[in-house]
Structure 1
Amino acid sequence: MTEELKPVLKTETRTRPIRVTVDLPPADQQALKRWCNTAALDLDLTTVALAQVLRALAAELTADPADRLDGLDDRLRARLAGAGEPEVDLTTTIPKSLQQQLSLTTAVHNTTIEAAVTEALRMWLAKHPPCRRTVLDAAQQLAELGLGDDLAGEGDTL
């Protein structure tokens, strides 16, 4: 018994748009909406929708590499490389006068308080690396716990 061959159907190219959904932290959504409002003012438009901005970003990312903004690919890759970085929730008390300054500054620079504080911490840590004694103390504590051999690579000494 032979099977009949079914005719091969030509597949059509999709022409309808494809919906993409992105979940954003509230602070990022607020910052993006603020950017949209500023862009609308700059362009003398009533509104600039977030969807329009995301479409424009997609067009920029898929444009000919020679036409892309300088450094865009590198900056995005750097952000994506840090995307897997585990986050730690940190709660702290900030004096009221500093909160007001911070809120105003983040609004002017179109960022979030969380992003501003994170960047400030990175800058501070870059200027204040741990001292050698702190590193040695930590290594000694690991060794006392019996973890030194597991963590040290070939040729490393504690």
Structure 2
Amino acid sequence: MEGCRISNGNQAKAIIYVDADACPVKAEISAIANEYNWDIRFVASYDHKPKNEESNPQWCFVDAGKDSVDLYIVNKIRRGDVLITQDIGLASLVLPKGVYAISPRGTEYKEDTIEMALDFRFLAAKAREAGHYGKGPSPFGKEDRRQFQASLRRLLSKNEGV
């Protein structure tokens, strides 16, 4: 994965990993991580490569395969790191590692509730297969952005110095 220049294999400092392909709060993550002096790894597929980020060490680009971003994150993330993702399945894979995970809307994924979230995701997929389509999530708005910022600040301040 030539675009992935930095690894946290021997680093003691925790890292914020971002499932960046469709993340609407990248600017907020950068600003807040800078406030708290946390390192960031935006992980995206080559298909979603933003312009002007090719030489930015905070960005890591992986193959365009369906699960390439998820596999990279699962393999690199470590206890105490933070994951920002909309993918409940990915969150469920990293929580047992002692990772903190939140959504871009500021919802914190927790081990004691992730199974129920996965069950709801499964039931919604079955309903779609049967031709029943719900409204889906509301459009991402200013309140979602504010909620995310508050959640990330709370999480990073709670884990400052860990």
Q: Do they fold alike, i.e. is TM over 0.5?
A: no
Larger radius of gyration: 1
* TM-score interval (norm. to shorter): under 0.3
Please state which structure has a larger fraction of its residues in helix: 1
Identify which of structures 1 and 2 has the higher relative contact order when contacts are C-alpha pairs closer than 8 Å and 6+ apart. Answer: 2
